Amino acid sequence: MKKHLSCAVLGFVLTGLLLLPSAQAKEKYVMGVHPYKPPQELYKKFKPIADYLSTKLGKPVEFQIAQSYDDAANKVGTGAYDFAFLGPIIYVDAHDKYGVVPLAQVANNKKPVFHGVIVVKKGSGITSLKELKGKSIAFGERHSTLTHLLPLWMIMDAGVRLPDLKEYRFAGTHDNVALNVARGAADAGGLMPDIAEKYKDQGIEVIARSPDLPEHVFAATKSMDQKTVDLLQNALVGMDLALAKGIKDSISNLQKFNDKDFDVLRKIMKQVGPELGK
């Protein structure tokens, strides 16, 4: 009797283990976005994309905004996000630390590159980056390409190092950087061009343009199965242009990319690293 009971229990346990994957099958996917704009703007941009991807994946896609740039990298890296829209530096950090998988990259005029600008308050008398010695700079997030790494690299290339500045601060979003400069709280700041244009009427002007760098991307957590990766990648690349332009007006398409495309950014990060104590 005991033998028959033990066999029955063993059979029940084995059956349960075999059924476990089905019981734990994903009921939804989570798409993350780094907080590079105010939440209401990001929701307007990415909620329609999440809804579109829900139809392609056959399951709901929940849209979440990360608490910080670091948070976005960590969550897609550890699988809290199934996939995410990431800035270039965030992608490099997440790929090199966690092995996140490339999905699709933003392209402007069919080129997957973008650039940043450094702005000052109009009438300040500052016309070149070398004149920022002894001045103050507003950076954005510490892991932002356009509001921190790139402007820092640009002023270093002009011969200005952090100790040469009167002060520098981290203001958070691109809009906050622009407002710091417009209101005189900082002498200069690094921005994406469309934000510089947005605040032009509030008295800021561009004094320098960066070289082209690889654009923002969608990337998946390493644990995502290949079938879903392929399905998601094809859905992103095949996205309707009107929907993609919700991210920004200059987008011409989304396209596949290779991690090696970001080696140019890794070189800049390596050059800036010692200045940041890395």
Q: How far apart are the first and last CA of the chain?
A: 68
Q: What is the mean pLDDT of the chain?
A: 90
- Contacts for 245 with CB less than 8 Å, ≥ 6 apart: 251
Q: At which of 157, 185, 210 does a domain end?
A: 210
- Sign of the alpha-carbon torsion through 50, 51, 56, 61: positive
Q: What is the CATH number for 145?
A: 3.40.190.10
- Do residues 205 and 218 both lie within one domain? no
Q: Compare 22 and 172 and report the one with higher pLDDT.
A: 172
Domain that holds residue 38: 28-112+214-276
- Whole-model pTM: value is 0.79
- Do residues 186 and 244 both lie within one domain? no
Q: Is 15 within a domain?
A: no
Q: At which of 183, 210, 237 does a domain end?
A: 210
Q: Using alpha carbons, list the distances in angstroms from residue 227 to 36, 136, 230, 233, 259.
A: 30, 50, 5, 10, 20
Q: Is 150 within a domain?
A: yes
- 154: nearest Cα among 196, 108, 119, 107: 119
Q: What is the pLDDT of residue 13?
A: 42
Q: Is 84 within a domain?
A: yes
- Do residues 65 and 141 both lie within one domain? no
Structural domain tally of the chain?
2
Q: Is 8 within a domain?
A: no
- Do residues 270 and 149 both lie within one domain? no
- Do residues 36 and 146 both lie within one domain? no
Residue 240: both structure tokens together: 């309707």
- Do residues 59 and 100 both lie within one domain? yes
Q: What is the pLDDT of residue 139?
A: 97
Q: Is 2 within a domain?
A: no
Q: What is the pLDDT of residue 2?
A: 44
Residue 22 pLDDT more than 70? no
Q: Is 10 within a domain?
A: no
Bridge partners of 205? Answer: 120
Residue 130 pLDDT more than 60? yes
Q: Is 23 within a domain?
A: no
Q: At which of 153, 179, 210 does a domain end?
A: 210
- Do residues 80 and 206 both lie within one domain? no
Q: Is 5 within a domain?
A: no
- Give the pLDDT confidence of 24-46 residue by residue, as tens digits: 468 999 999 999 889 999 999 99
